[in-house]
Amino acid sequence: MSARRFLIAGAAALCIAGTASAQDRLVGLRALSGGGVFERIEFADGGLLQSPLVGQDSLRITSATQISFPVAASMPLGRSWTVDITTVYSSGEVGFTSGNSNTAGTATLSGLSDVRVRTTGRFFNDGLIFTAGLNAPTGKTELSALELTAVRVLSAPALALGASPIGAGPSGTVGLLSARSLGPWAVAAGVAYEHRGSYQPVAALVAGAPSADFQPGGVIRASLGLDRLIGNNRLSITAAGDFFQTDELRAPSGSAPIAQVRLGPVFSADAQLQLGVPRVRDFVLWTAARYRSNFSRDDITVDNSSGTYFDGGLRTTVPVARSTDVIFAVDGRFHSGLEIDEGLPTSGVTSGSATLGFSQRIGMLAFQPFARGTLGSVNARGNARDSQQANFTGVSLGLVIISRF
């Protein structure tokens, strides 16, 4: 595959606004995938102390468990159009002890997430890509106090668990991307607009907003991708900026607006180097960096609401038989967290993980079981740094089944 066609294959994903979740990853043309993933996090040292929420006592989070069943389908419509559908069912449980009474309890959250439908059109010999996406509101949009406790843990970026079954209400994305060859480089530049749904608790929590009732404005994403061959190797670089319109923050106990909030721009850059290593099907070094700038409240910049995020690692696929591959990956993360809030959604993290998996192809089916182990430490910034930190261990077991036809 030429560098230009390699870049075109990911062009639609480049246009998607940055608020899309991990369930948006596609599996290729004429493909159907499904599977199950079990994930568990356990905190050491008596758990991670969290400040009170919705009238509750302070809590010590001791564990988080989630089982998810993602489904994705991709199908062509004629020569130029492709339709992709993704969703996930997940069930999570958070274990905790009450900070005052030391009584053990659990908070659960389960259900189907929103169903995302996306269509992609390719024109002028793949020189122009049009993308339109629709978010069908099938996920939860009303949470009890315990469910809000659960989502604060299960959706925390520091833990990197799978997608939670939280709905966003009706929303959609449109985007355009142009790709062309410039000397040895394949270059793609795109712009997209996302109209976000009327319910965004995860976005509010991750941004450190004082309420999870977050009525969002739109998001404009501008992106640039570069790709080229360097001998037997391939270098790919992408950069993007997300620019947010004004959002409305509502009181936790009512519908009255309490503030106008505008999230600061988010800038991200990703790079991967695919090395042509003999007797190895795939050997990729990758890194990603993201900067979330300060947000403003009623046109006043909120100090200490910015953060930096760094991820990187390598993955490789080694053939051991004609239809069998061994998959190995290691990665590390450092997230500064946000000083504006002391909860887990805005906590910093330092962690590393290793993944071992297999791919067995039988006819049109590919079976990919995997296991992952994680070690890390989370800590709040600001005044809570000394009290709200804990080491954790994590394990993930999963099976993905892919059919291409």
Which neighbouring-strand residues pair with 352?
A: 332, 375
Distance (Å, rounded) from C-alpha 13 to C-alpha 124?
A: 19
- pLDDT at position 21 over 60: no
**Residues whose CB is less than 8 angstroms from the CB of residue 300 and which lie 6 or more positions away in sequence, other chains included:** none
Distance (Å, rounded) from C-alpha 394 to C-alpha 43?
A: 9
Which neighbouring-strand residues pair with 365?
A: 362, 403
Strand order of the sheet with strand 300-301?
A: 214-215, 247-250, 257-262, 296-297, 300-301
In this structure, what token pair is assigned to residue 2? 């030429």
- How sure is the predictor about 117, in pLDDT bands with cuts at 50, 70 and 90? very high
- How sure is the predictor about 47, in pLDDT bands with cuts at 50, 70 and 90? confident
Contact between residue 256 and residue 289 where contact means Cβ atoms under 8 Å apart: no
Q: What is the CATH topology of the domain spanning 3-404? A: Porin (2.40.160)
Q: What is the share, in percent, of the chain residues with pLDDT greater than 70?
A: 81
Distance (Å, rounded) from C-alpha 187 to C-alpha 175?
A: 17
pLDDT of residue 10: 45
Distance (Å, rounded) from C-alpha 369 to C-alpha 55?
A: 42
- pLDDT at position 212 over 60: no
Q: What is the mean pLDDT of residues 257-263?
A: 76
Contact between residue 70 and residue 39 where contact means Cβ atoms under 8 Å apart: no
Distance (Å, rounded) from C-alpha 120 to C-alpha 24?
A: 14
Contact between residue 217 and residue 243 where contact means Cβ atoms under 8 Å apart: no
- pLDDT at position 102 over 60: yes
- pLDDT at position 56 over 70: no
- How sure is the predictor about 120, in pLDDT bands with cuts at 50, 70 and 90? very high
Contact between residue 21 and residue 166 where contact means Cβ atoms under 8 Å apart: no
Domain boundaries, the chain: 3-404
For residue 361, count other CB atoms closer than 10 A to its CB: 16
For residue 346, the 8-state DSSP code is: G
- pLDDT at position 25 over 70: no
Distance (Å, rounded) from C-alpha 216 to C-alpha 363?
A: 46
Q: What is the mean pLDDT of residues 207-221?
A: 70
Distance (Å, rounded) from C-alpha 253 to C-alpha 80?
A: 49
Q: Where are the alpha helices (DSSP H) in 282-369?
A: none
Give the predicted TM-score (pTM) of the model: 0.83
